[in-house]
A and B are shown apart, each in its own frame.
Chain A
Amino acid sequence: MIQLTAAQMADALAKDETTSVELTQAHLDRIAAVDGQVKAFLHVDSEGALAQARDVDTRRKSGEKLSAIAGVPLALKDVLAQKGVPTTAGSKILQGWRPPYDSTVVSKLKDAGVVIMGKTNMDEFAMGSSTENSGYGPTFNPWDLTRTPGGSSGGSAAAVSAFEAPLAVGSDTGGSIRQPAALTGIVGVRPTYGAVSRFGLIAYSSSLDQAGPFGRTVLDTALLHEVMAGHDPKDATSINAPVPAVVSAAKSGDVKGMKIGVIKQLQGEGYQKGVQARFDESLKVLASLGAEIVEVDCPSFEYALAAYYLIAPSECSSNLARFDAMRYGLRTGDVEGASAEAVMSATRDAGFGREVKRRIILGTYALSSGYYDAYYGSAQKIRTLIIQDYAKAFGKADVLVSPTAPTTAYKIGEKVDDPMAMYLGDVATIPVNLAGICGMSLPAGLAEEDNLPVGFQIMAPAMQDQRLYQVGASLEAALLSQWGAPILSKAPALGGK
């Protein structure tokens, strides 16, 4: 049953062929069997999940009209506040904190009858690309347990990839949904900035953060997208417009007559051979489906990584200031005679990991007087240039495409001491965040040299998220008929499979 897609599970529920309790229990059993190896979850809320499942089963029996994915279980990235359930953002500084409120995403999931099974592992405060920066140890890639699942939403991606959950929620500040989706062979979407409420999403970089869906198929991802998105008066940056018709786009997938732009700067040198090969092959498939492939030039993308690593740390240096041991979370050094300042300092020293500290220091420096214009100010200018590059490119193409990540999944520990090498892995995903547009990663096959999944990235203009699903569904269907079976069927079996 856990091998089904979320759409198939929803169908079985609608036809009374199964119950949400049964479905949820099957996934909880799977988690119990394999999560010791994968370590996708920080907290499994079995009781809460089964209670939600029972509730949705009752509602269904009473004839209530339910959402399309009511009763389907889901894994939630630990960056989103869920009332009464431990929420840490992968950080020791929030160990033991149980939010007294639900994030808007969680409220929407609950309203839709989606069953939240637990909180998934992540790089601390979403800072990282491998989930190795979690304060609670790394998550392992189900394709090869010696490798990372990517990050920062590595736990959510691994959970879906390992059939621990058919759906998961992640968040994407510089590629944190798309890159782990690519590295674990699943679909992940970063919606347009402002499409999904950030209320209750623990902030890393407010102007870049955006929650989004993971699924094993384009349609599953669309079904979750539709439930999560929508205007929220509690988030000032939330877009007040109807949710794009992502589900119907995913169902009708067609690229005939569409112009697909290949970004010159996001391919070739620096991209693993097998990654580039799968990407080129997907382009051919799209062309064969009737799309016109054009090349577009985005010269400012060269500076995207630099701009990102000034803006995100600047915002995080301020966003993370609230973790001061005064109101919640960890408190250390509170000994007789210790000043408030000493307690704050000791707590932050003990509670934050190395990468978080690195970024807080970087951002504090970039915002300090005398350096502001040179660093934060210049980064904002680059951001404007990137927005202009995209505007020009979207003048020539309906969607833009690139490989999602330059490489397949790398070994745990491989880049942990070389932040620059790790940062370079986000070179193709970061421009989307800087411009506030939307992007999808979907599986393009396995790289020949290592038999690991390769991600194909699709980008669309702001509030045109349906184009991602239209193109994604079309490519997915064509590739599936080539392969004969879903890509995940090629993953090695885990202990409990």
Chain B
Amino acid sequence: MTLPTYDEVIAKWDPVLGLEVHVELNTKSKMFCSCATEFGAEPNTQTCPVCLALPGALPVVNEKAIESTILIGLALNCKIAPYSRFARKNYFYPDMPKNFQISQYDEPICFDGYVDVEIDTEEGPKQFRIEIERVHMEEDTGKSLHVGGATGRIHGADYSLLDYNRAGIPLVEIVTKIVPGTGKYAPEVAKAYVAELRDILRGLKVSDVKMEQGSLRCDANVSLKPIGSDVLGTRSETKNVNSLRSVERAIRGEMIRHAELLNDGKKVKQETRHFQEDTGLTRSGRSKEQAEDYRYFPDPDLVPVTPSSAWIEELRATLPERPSLRRKRLKEEWNVPDKEMQAMINADVLDIVEATVLLGADPTKARSWWLGEISRIANDQNIAVADLSITPADVAELVALVAAGELTDKLARQVVEGVIAGEGKPSEVVAKRGIKVVNDDGALMAAIEKVCTEQAETAEKVRGGHLPAAGALIGAVMKETKGQADAAKVRELLLKHLGQG
């Protein structure tokens, strides 16, 4: 029994996908109480009677979370329900304080939408439409840390630690309809969908969308049917896949695992699987063959959500440009190669570069500052580019100073350091540090003559036509002028001085 190759799988089987994405909203307070939502706080410091489910405590909906959810629905081309309700999903688990989760059941706030994604294929770019079944609100659970035991799961643990800081953080669940017809591209389509979703959510500013911190989590449902068949196969659900790459790997892995079972005439078990980063494989979780009975019913502590159509339209008017369209537009306007475009997206500097360009900076220069020097400093300090104190206005000013010949690139880097160190705007840093390009030919000539005297041998080589030797002299002149000279200018004057101009 050998594992089939991916090519063997797709030669025989047709994958059907279903994706559930959970997004933690970035509201300041929790879904049903006023506790803070900061990531990484000391355990159980962001809790209150409501999110600890103390006897008598009651939930009250965070209006901001509803607004964010409607925005998401609108961005995903959904219809917005004029009347929807919260429901209780009942099951026992120690990290769920009420032993029910407030969620939405048969009355989600947004439904019937779609997202178009594009992937590169052998035949060129190809578009797929992912239909959205529903977008609904719910609250997150707390976190358990199971100590001892081999699996890190509750069974077999010596004891468990509970942190309720996450309990009650607003979550939005985005559920696709079944996604057929992706064929061999299923893993890429799934990845592109999650990436597009992430960009849309980022553009809406409703979530941090950090997969590695769990603020965006994907559950991937996969089943296989024989090519040409209309009958859906049994699905598995792979939980909490926490990177874009893992989405692709998890689906590919599940397709291969299913095909192996089916090729051997075995059945795929309907179950939850857990993705393992290290191996790229999934392991069995909870069996779902006996569907759990969550005894959903409308939460009597909460009133129905009834957004007015005026409010919905108001929110629709604030929707930002669709990320895919925006990327296409910026790529054309700025004339950026694919690779550079991708680098900007990966470094998360697209917004900031655009803001800089809008302030009049040349797109190529703006891009290279943000992607180069500034990103490097951010990396060194281990923070996001956006969290540095340098602004698009600073960079636009910097680009203008360089263009005007008032700064060299090298000097400009010192200015960037100064701005980030809090010394003020670029012009202020220039003034404070006394940075200026030495353009005075007389001063430059004095330095050139001094260097040529000190390094007479090298100067002679240049004079004799050996131009590469000029580099050492230029370097020395730059040092002499404390880096404030324009290197191109120095080269020009030096070569002229040595009869090579």
Question: Which A residues contact B (CB, under 8 angstroms)?
Answer: 80-81, 87, 89, 94, 97, 99-101, 103, 198-203, 205-207, 233-237, 314-315, 317-318, 321-324, 326-328, 339-341, 344, 364, 367-369, 372, 376
Contact = CB atoms under 8 A, between A and B. Distances in A.
Contact of A368 (B60, B295, B303): B295
B293 A87 contact: no
Interface in B31-62: 49, 52-61
B228 interface: no
Interface stretch (B87-95, B170-178, B380-388): B87-95
Given A367-B295, A376-B297, A322 B97 contact: yes
6 contacts: A236-B60, A236-B303, A321-B99, A364-B295, A367-B295, A367-B297
A237 B56 CA distance: 14
Nearest first, the 7 closest Cβ-Cβ pairs linking A and B are A321-B99, A207-B300, A206-B300, A367-B295, A200-B56, A202-B55, A81-B56
Contacts of A317: 90, 295
Contacts of B59: 236
B56 A315 contact: no
Q: Considering residues B53, B58, B92, which has the most beta carbons from chain A within 10 angstroms of its beta carbon? A: B58
Contacts of B154: 339-340
Nearest to A327: B52
A30 B131 CA distance: 71
Interface residues of B, number: 31
Nearest to A326: B94
Contact of A321 (B57, B98, B296, B300): B98
A100 B90 contact: no
Contact of B60 (A94, A203, A234, A340): A234
A369 B290 CA distance: 13
B288 to A, nearest CB: 14
A99 B155 CA distance: 32
B160 interface: yes
B185 interface: no
Given A206-B301, A321-B100, A340-B160, A328 B54 contact: yes
A318 B293 contact: no
B99 A233 contact: no
B55 A94 contact: yes
Contacts of B97: 322, 326-327
Contact of A199 (B58, B94, B293): B58
Contacts of A81: 54-56
Given A100-B49, A237-B301, A318 B90 contact: yes
B302 interface: yes
Contact of B293 (A201, A326, A369): A369
Contacts of B49: 99-101
A257 B476 CA distance: 110
B94 A236 contact: no
Nearest to B164: A327
A462 to B, nearest CB: 15
Nearest to B159: A340
B358 interface: no
B162 interface: yes
B301 A236 contact: yes
B295 A99 contact: no
Contacts of A202: 55-56
Given A322-B98, A369-B295, A99 B301 contact: no
Contacts of B296: 367
Given A321-B100, A322-B97, A97 B293 contact: no
B202 to A, nearest CB: 31
A81 to B, nearest CB: 4
B56 A199 contact: yes
Contacts of B160: 340
A324 B99 contact: yes
Contact of A367 (B61, B90, B92): B90
B96 to A, nearest CB: 9
B100 A318 contact: yes
B57 A97 contact: no
Nearest to B99: A321
Nearest to A328: B54
A318 B295 contact: yes
B384 to A, nearest CB: 36
A321 B55 contact: no
A355 B109 CA distance: 38
A341 B54 CA distance: 20
A435 to B, nearest CB: 15
Given A323-B55, A367-B296, 12 more contacts: A89-B55, A199-B57, A203-B301, A235-B60, A236-B60, A236-B302, A317-B295, A321-B92, A322-B98, A324-B94, A369-B295, A372-B297
A235 B58 contact: yes
Contacts of B295: 317-318, 364, 367-369, 372
A207 B85 CA distance: 14
A237 B303 contact: yes
B88 A318 contact: yes
B297 A97 contact: no
Contacts of B162: 326
Nearest to B160: A340
A235 B98 CA distance: 17
Nearest to A329: B55
Contacts of B92: 321, 324, 341, 344
Nearest to A201: B56
Given A206-B300, A321-B99, A324-B92, A97 B55 contact: yes
A327 B53 contact: yes
A216 B100 CA distance: 41
Nearest to A341: B92
Contacts of B94: 324, 326, 340
Contacts of A235: 58, 60
Interface in B53-92: 53-61, 88, 90, 92
Nearest to B32: A236
Interface centre among A89, A235, A340, A368 (most CB of B within 10 A): A340
Nearest to A235: B58
